[in-house]
Structure 1
Amino acid sequence: MWVLHKLKTRWRWLAGFLLLLWLAVIAADRLWPLPLKEVTPARVVVAEDGTPLWRFADAEGIWRYPVTPEDVSPRYIEALLQYEDRWFWKHPGINPLSIARAAWQDLTSGQIVSGGSTLTMQVARLLDPHPRTFGGKIRQVWRALQLEWHLSKRDILTLYLNRAPFGGTLQGVGAASWAYLGKAPAQLSYSEAALLAVLPQAPSRLRPDRWPERAQAARDKVLERMLTQGVWPAERVKEAQQEPVWLFPRQMPQLAPLFSRRVLARSQQDKIVTTLDATLQRQMEELALNWKSRLPPRSSLAMIVVDHTNMKVRSWVGSADINDDSRFGHVDMVAAIRSPGSVLKPFVYAMAMDEGLIHPASLLQDVPRRTGDYRPGNFDSGFHGPVSMSDALVRSLNLPAVQVLEAYGPKQFAARLRNAGLPLILPANAQPNLALILGGAGARLEDITAAYSAFARHGKAGRLRVLPDDPLIERPLLSPGAAWIIRRILGGEEQPLPDGSLPRVAPLAWKTGTSYGYRDAWAIGLNARYTIGIWTGRPDGTPVAGQFGFASAVPLLNQVNNILQSRPVMSGERVPVDPRPSSVSAGTICWPGGQSLPVGDTNCRRRLATWLLDDSQPPTLLLPGQEGIRGIRFPVWLNAAGQRVAADCPDAVEKELQVWPLPLEPWLAAAERRTARLPPASDSCPPRQQQNVLPLVLSGVREGAVIRHLPGLASVSLPVQTTGGEGRRWWFLNGEALSEAGSAITLQLEKAQSYQLVAMDDAGQVATVSFELR
């Protein structure tokens, strides 16, 4: 009994001791937890295919490329485990046999031959560095046991793959593979897998870019072991041993720095996968650097390429050179707010078509106008009189765009763009006005490019996708028919063709823009698959004389388009087609009325073929104040002889003539002017006067005159005057408003060139003359 009692007492003491030991282990685990989380982790931004674009190092300057075991070649895993820890999948974190063997080898040789550390123990040392002492070894064993307790074998292997040192600031096989070999770790050959497996043993001494002979000897040692242990075929090992170890200097990720900085806040992942195409991004950045020498001083550029089939951003270049401080290279101009110039014009024409206000052949008036103190002019100076909507869009004329926006409504225009993802930035407390269409509000290149996708996405503007997980979000902006028509006009296919002759693949459609004072030059283009946005200018907003969209941005747009056209996705069946929507049909209309008329109708002064949306033929859009006889429909009463008579005259028959709006008179042939179009008045029963304003006549210089400088004089004084008309006069010289307002002025001309002088009165009448100074 006494013996039994003694045994029970010992078992109780043993159980108590084990319980206390277990509690001590738990307490130690709580007091000294595994240091798995970093305060400032190393992060990397990668392209869609995994190519690293830009790295953000941790607090110690280390950069990593996070991988999982599935992301790494099986050859590397085999070489690593066979060389470092054959029993990794079976031991509990430490291998007593390996430790005993290493201790015996060290004692018998009098020096450290091998460490006997398992892969888990190496991970423990990487997570919690310690001195190479007995106490440090105990700490390493404790950490290894902690790792096996809390993590799976796969998690421990993942930690090693991402924390193993590879020389300098490189950690992890992913970073080493990209930096040393320029390839993904999943693509390692037998030779490369063996090389990277041995590098962490002595990363500084074995760096292949500095000590290729040492690295090759260490690699061959791994290959020999893979052969003797029968892991790899002898033929593969022999081929790998014949490969020399010779590498370029380490390659650091150097692509898309401004874009990478932008997406860094979008994700909490250590490896941020984006939608960029690494090859295209590299081509675009090389193009930007080559183009930099052509830019004026302190100027930069921005380019963005979007695959409008899925709205993925494929390239993003925010500046010409991020290292050039004189060009503000650190400023991302893709996201900067700038004046868009004329790039918004396609939207207002498309919206007006959807509203039934115009069609592509609508007669618009490119004539001097004033709305309060606002007097817009054209970029190319001068005015062109009667123009069609499609012609006004192709030539980027300002006055027709202002006319259409005034009819559509600036507030409605800005609201629809904002709803589709293109906010127009106005000064505080300012309301949308007519200046919007000429760049009177700020916008971002990224938003403009996204909105232009509506012309290729059947009228729906897509939101840019910069991360693969970003959902495809699109909002209606235009009808499919209006979007198709505008895209074809911008692509040079405004004339209707039969479906059999109409190219199914849309050509490059593009639009330029130039902001006030030559501060911004834009070009936005759409080819069959991509939407391209280009901006050039000075980030500080100072003017660049002579910079405008066609000269500065279009050549760059064409080069980008040429690069895109050579890509495999633009060949054969992969090119998206652009069939004509059922809502679009061909038609023929007549000017000046803007609608179709029977053949032989005398009111059809000019016949035009055009595309029509829903077969809609809205009448000609008039300017405010052009109602009645100042507009197009001019009622007359005729007698049997065809002479104009008063309405109450015997046998008077009413007839409606369609005449050109009064402001277009100076640009019309003599036979088309009202005086020539109206039948002669009857002497026996003349018509009553109809609020006719006396015609505005400009004199002092004849049409087509050539004026020459007098000897010794630098300038020429040219007095001109107007007669007739009504009210105040406004004068325009080459589209620029003059300060003079009287009926007679004197021009001081110095520069030898062609001039266009225009006078306008309160009634909207215009007189014009073109001449040349030599």
Structure 2
Amino acid sequence: MRRRQKLAFALGGCFLLTVIMSAGLVVADREFPPPLDKADVVSAEVLDADGQLLRAFAAPDGRWRLRTNVKDVDPQFVQMLVAYEDRRFFVHHGIDAVAIGRAAIQLMTNGRIVSGASTLSMQVARLIEPRETRSFSSKLLQMARAVQIERRLSKEEILNLYLTHAPYGGNLEGVRAASLAYFGKEPKKLSVAEAALLVALPQIPERRRPDRFANIAEQARRRVLERTAVAEVVGDGEADRAESIPVPRSRLPLPALAAHLSAEALRRAPGREIYRTTIDKHVQQNLETVAQEASLRLSPKLSLAMIMADARTGDIIAEVGSAGYFDSARSGWIDMTAAARSPGSTLKPFIYGLAFEQGMVAQQTIIEDRPSDFFGYRPKNFDMSYQGDVTIREALQLSLNVPAIKLLNAVDPARLMGRLRRAGVQPVLPPGNVPGLAIGLGGVGVTLRDLVQLYTALANRGMPVRLGDGILSQPGHIDDAPILDETSVWNVADILSGLTPPVGARRIGIAYKTGTSYGYRDAWSVGYDGRHVLGVWVGRPDNASVPGLTGYGTAAPLLFEAFSRAGVSITPLPRPPLGARRTLQADLPIGLRRFSISPSGLIISYGREKPPEIVYPPEGAHIDLGLRQGNPMPLTLKLQGGRAPFRWLANGQALPDVARTRTNQWSPDGRGYSRLTVIDSTGQAASVGFFVD
């Protein structure tokens, strides 16, 4: 009896001393505040467009400590935690006198410690201000700190600190890190078995780690489930069902998606806690899976890269910089989406688009595919063979080199470069070089990001969109004229959407183009629907040759697989603009039935007349035709030179009558950018672009 009295007296004294010390600390709160600033040292997080975790980085002390709030976890888990650890959490002020009394009685009755009296507030105090040793004085300080914390923070804020800092074994801290590592998911929705395990682990985290001591972890979980207060939370029978579920026996890696983009985000703005991106986690995960599976089929030194963008907004929704960030054999740390490489034939659609826009050709125009010499430049086809007479449609679908160079020579390489720059892309030419015919076959440096940005114009009725970087810079429309007129864009899409899919792939409603750089160094494929553009590159980061590497055989199958598995809905390609259609060769104007070029590379002139030149409207003019006032007037068209009769095309659509004079009239359908083209009887053409106000 005397022993129990002494023990009770001692416990009462401790409690009284704690109250006195707590009161003293409250008085000296300003001079001796709790080190709450330490609680702000957490892991950096890279989030997708919807706030989902893409990648986490360990905190400076090497621990995975993801900031966690009550709203981030399953409400039932919070209820189970409070029921098991601190039933009177919401009514006490840091110290639970009832729990201390209960612990004293149990100690007196059993002669040993049966239950502790530590509150969640006291545990938070210990987590943010750990002590090397456990002693009576450190316990008193912990209790005093709990009182201070309660004075400074709300109950929810205290719970947030516990959820962020509770230890879970190894370098895992906080409920989110533990849930991701043991269950592979965020803790917003936990089963009873999962919640009970997360409640049990922080008490003795190293001894209860399920990846090392599964049996001990199961026993600890059982004790949580058998607690009466917890059973009241989970309901009848749920505890028994939860006990039958095995605990996870391995630790999963934390999310590490978009590795290159995430690393770049930290490099650009170090010290942040949250980095928001435009990435769609679901699409990113799917493309990384495609890349990882493809890497198993590729040569050990081959890397690959992919970018998917929203052609309407310019948002990067998925970006894969390599086949594997930590794959040293493939130099996986190099972000190949940003490496300037030869694009092969992927720029050809823009050459054909310019030829369509300038009225030089139609889809069924015949063009010769035969050996040609352009002032010493002699392009050859990829397979070293020639097809003879082919239509423009066939020439682009077969990616024939000689017809592409004939058209580029006619539209002018400098004009092509000007259109690429209009799309916000700056191709890299060899030092001291000017744009030449070789750019049509890949004689220029562009990045995968550049190509995707260019192709947004083809998916967006000719209007290019500036891609964001997925992190900081904002995407948006480029405030300039379209890169190509709408009818030319439709013609290109109509041709490219008719391409046969690669072997083993099915048609999925996209237009696409492939390219192979000189020496089999780069394989490309870029595809688009009415909303998305996906670019794929395969090659060696060291620019070494890879015999047998081709855009059609290597990159195109990946393009179709990635587009099919990305998880985005295929959006139909834009409808043809009014009047745009495929025209039979017999119905073409005589000047459009065949594209002829001399051996020297010059367009053949059938007479002594100078080529036609449109003198009104002038290039780039803004012309007010009264459309805004509802009293429209026709636009007078004037030209010089050329041989009559003349065929006029407005935005790719032929005007109804053939003109025999050098003046004509046209009534536009509405305001905005328009392009007029005139073709004379010899097939020579001229074009101007202007704005109707």
Q: What does residue 516 of structure 1 align with?
A: 518
Residue 403 (structure 1) aligned with residue 399 (structure 2): no
Q: Percent identity?
A: 39
Q: Do the aligned partners of 1:506 and 1:528 also contact (CA within 8 Å) in 2?
A: no
Over residues 125-144 of structure 1, what are the superposed CA-to-partner deviations in whole Å (9 max), with x where a residue is unaligned?
21221132233234434543
Over residues 14-73 of structure 1, what are the superposed CA-to-partner deviations in whole Å (9 max), with x where a residue is unaligned?
xxxxx998884323339x6642333xx422435566665433212332113433211211
Over residues 182-235 of structure 1, what are the superposed CA-to-partner deviations in whole Å (9 max), with x where a residue is unaligned?
222111122222221221111122222333333233223323335577334224
Q: What does residue 733 of structure 1 align with?
A: none
Q: Do the aligned partners of 2:58 and 2:64 also contact (CA within 8 Å) in 1?
A: yes
Correspondence for 2:38 among 35, 43, 49: 35
Q: Do the aligned partners of 2:410 and 2:603 also contact (CA within 8 Å) in 1?
A: no
Q: What does residue 163 of structure 1 align with?
A: 165
Query: Superposed, which structure 2 residues align to 1:69-88 within 5 Å?
Result: 69-88=70-89
C-alpha spacing 1:197/1:370, structure 2 compared with 1 (3 Å): same
The Cα shift of 1:75 comes to 0.5
Q: What does residue 437 of structure 1 align with?
A: 440
Q: Which amino acid aligns with 2:402?
A: L
Query: Superposed, which structure 2 residues align to 1:380-459 within 5 Å?
Result: 380-459=383-462
Q: Matches of 1:415 and 1:116 in 2, distance apart?
A: 76
Residue correspondences, number: 582
Correspondence for 1:585 among 563, 581, 587: 581
Q: Do the aligned partners of 2:309 and 2:533 also contact (CA within 8 Å) in 1?
A: yes
Q: Matches of 2:608 and 2:255 in 1, distance apart?
A: 65
Secondary structure in 1 matching 2:407: helix
Q: Matches of 2:608 and 2:518 in 1, distance apart?
A: 32
Residue 189 (structure 1) aligned with residue 200 (structure 2): no
Q: Matches of 1:26 and 1:397 in 2, distance apart?
A: 79
Q: What does residue 295 of structure 1 align with?
A: 298
Residue 347 (structure 1) aligned with residue 350 (structure 2): yes
Q: Matches of 1:470 and 1:372 in 2, distance apart?
A: 44
Over residues 287-345 of structure 1, what are the superposed CA-to-partner deviations in whole Å (9 max), with x where a residue is unaligned?
43443354345222223334546655444332223343222122221222211111111
The Cα shift of 1:113 comes to 4.4
Q: Do the aligned partners of 2:427 and 2:446 also contact (CA within 8 Å) in 1?
A: yes
The Cα shift of 1:101 comes to 4.3
Q: What does residue 262 of structure 2 align with?
A: 260
Correspondence for 1:480 among 467, 482, 486: 486
Q: Do the aligned partners of 1:449 and 1:533 also contact (CA within 8 Å) in 2?
A: yes
Q: Do the aligned partners of 1:79 and 1:226 also contact (CA within 8 Å) in 2?
A: no
Secondary structure in 2 matching 1:59: coil
Over residues 645-701 of structure 1, what are the superposed CA-to-partner deviations in whole Å (9 max), with x where a residue is unaligned?
xxxxxxxxxx999xxxxxxxxxxxxxxxxxxxxxxxxxxxxxxxxxxxxxxxxxxxx
Secondary structure in 2 matching 1:78: helix
Correspondence for 1:556 among 547, 553, 558: 558
C-alpha spacing 1:106/1:311, structure 2 compared with 1 (3 Å): farther
The Cα shift of 1:173 comes to 1.0
Q: Matches of 1:478 and 1:629 in 2, distance apart?
A: 28
Q: Note the residue ranges of structure 1 that are not aligned, 5 or more in a row.
A: 1-18, 495-504, 598-602, 607-618, 635-654, 658-774
Q: Do the aligned partners of 2:364 and 2:583 also contact (CA within 8 Å) in 1?
A: no
Secondary structure in 2 matching 1:186: coil
Q: Which moved more, 1:254-263 or 1:270-279?
A: 270-279
Q: Do the aligned partners of 2:275 and 2:471 also contact (CA within 8 Å) in 1?
A: no
Secondary structure in 2 matching 1:36: helix
The Cα shift of 1:347 comes to 1.9
Residue 545 (structure 1) aligned with residue 537 (structure 2): no
The Cα shift of 1:78 comes to 0.6
State the Cα RMSD in Å.
Answer: 3.9
Q: Which amino acid aligns with 2:490?
A: W
Secondary structure in 1 matching 2:198: helix
The Cα shift of 1:241 comes to 3.8
Q: Matches of 1:543 and 1:152 in 2, distance apart?
A: 64
The Cα shift of 1:124 comes to 2.0
Secondary structure in 1 matching 2:545: coil
Q: What does residue 222 of structure 1 align with?
A: 224
Correspondence for 2:495 among 489, 495, 506: 489
Q: Which amino acid aligns with 1:136?
A: S
TM-score computed with the length of structure 2 as normaliser: 0.73
Q: Which moved more, 1:435-444 or 1:270-279?
A: 270-279
Secondary structure in 1 matching 2:33: helix
Correspondence for 1:207 among 201, 206, 209: 209
Residue 243 (structure 1) aligned with residue 245 (structure 2): yes
Q: Matches of 2:68 and 2:490 in 1, distance apart?
A: 45
The Cα shift of 1:492 comes to 1.1
The Cα shift of 1:522 comes to 0.8
Q: Do the aligned partners of 1:339 and 1:442 also contact (CA within 8 Å) in 2?
A: yes
Q: Which amino acid aligns with 2:392?
A: M
The Cα shift of 1:177 comes to 1.3
Give the number of the structure whose alpha-carbon radius of gyration is greater.
1
Q: Matches of 1:303 and 1:181 in 2, distance apart?
A: 29
Q: What does residue 60 of structure 2 align with?
A: 59
C-alpha spacing 1:265/1:605, structure 2 compared with 1 (3 Å): closer
Q: Matches of 1:148 and 1:356 in 2, distance apart?
A: 78
Q: Do the aligned partners of 2:46 and 2:53 also contact (CA within 8 Å) in 1?
A: yes
C-alpha spacing 1:229/1:378, structure 2 compared with 1 (3 Å): closer
Correspondence for 2:325 among 311, 315, 322: 322
Q: Which moved more, 1:621-630 or 1:230-239?
A: 621-630
Over residues 373-416 of structure 1, what are the superposed CA-to-partner deviations in whole Å (9 max), with x where a residue is unaligned?
54433322244454433222112122333333344343443343
Q: Do the aligned partners of 2:516 and 2:522 also contact (CA within 8 Å) in 1?
A: yes
Secondary structure in 1 matching 2:56: strand
C-alpha spacing 1:432/1:230, structure 2 compared with 1 (3 Å): same
Over residues 85-122 of structure 1, what are the superposed CA-to-partner deviations in whole Å (9 max), with x where a residue is unaligned?
22333333333443454466557766554442222222
Q: Matches of 1:548 and 1:47 in 2, distance apart?
A: 33
C-alpha spacing 1:392/1:238, structure 2 compared with 1 (3 Å): same
Q: Do the aligned partners of 2:466 and 2:475 also contact (CA within 8 Å) in 1?
A: yes
The Cα shift of 1:520 comes to 0.8
C-alpha spacing 1:224/1:628, structure 2 compared with 1 (3 Å): closer
Q: Which amino acid aligns with 2:347?
A: L
Q: Which moved more, 1:389-398 or 1:346-355?
A: 346-355
Q: Note the residue ranges of structure 2 that are not aligned, 5 or more in a row.
A: 1-22, 501-506, 612-642, 646-693
C-alpha spacing 1:521/1:128, structure 2 compared with 1 (3 Å): same
Secondary structure in 1 matching 2:581: strand
Q: Do the aligned partners of 1:226 and 1:232 also contact (CA within 8 Å) in 2?
A: no
Q: Matches of 1:155 and 1:33 in 2, distance apart?
A: 11
C-alpha spacing 1:558/1:632, structure 2 compared with 1 (3 Å): farther
Residue 234 (structure 1) aligned with residue 236 (structure 2): yes
Q: Matches of 1:434 and 1:301 in 2, distance apart?
A: 28
Q: Do the aligned partners of 1:461 and 1:474 also contact (CA within 8 Å) in 2?
A: yes
Secondary structure in 2 matching 1:442: coil
Q: What does residue 596 of structure 1 align with?
A: 589
The Cα shift of 1:74 comes to 0.6
C-alpha spacing 1:26/1:321, structure 2 compared with 1 (3 Å): closer
Residue 45 (structure 1) aligned with residue 41 (structure 2): no
Q: Matches of 1:351 and 1:185 in 2, distance apart?
A: 55
Q: Do the aligned partners of 1:307 and 1:313 also contact (CA within 8 Å) in 2?
A: yes
Q: Which amino acid aligns with 1:29?
A: P
C-alpha spacing 1:300/1:231, structure 2 compared with 1 (3 Å): closer
Q: What does residue 705 of structure 1 align with?
A: none
Q: Matches of 2:536 and 2:446 in 1, distance apart?
A: 13
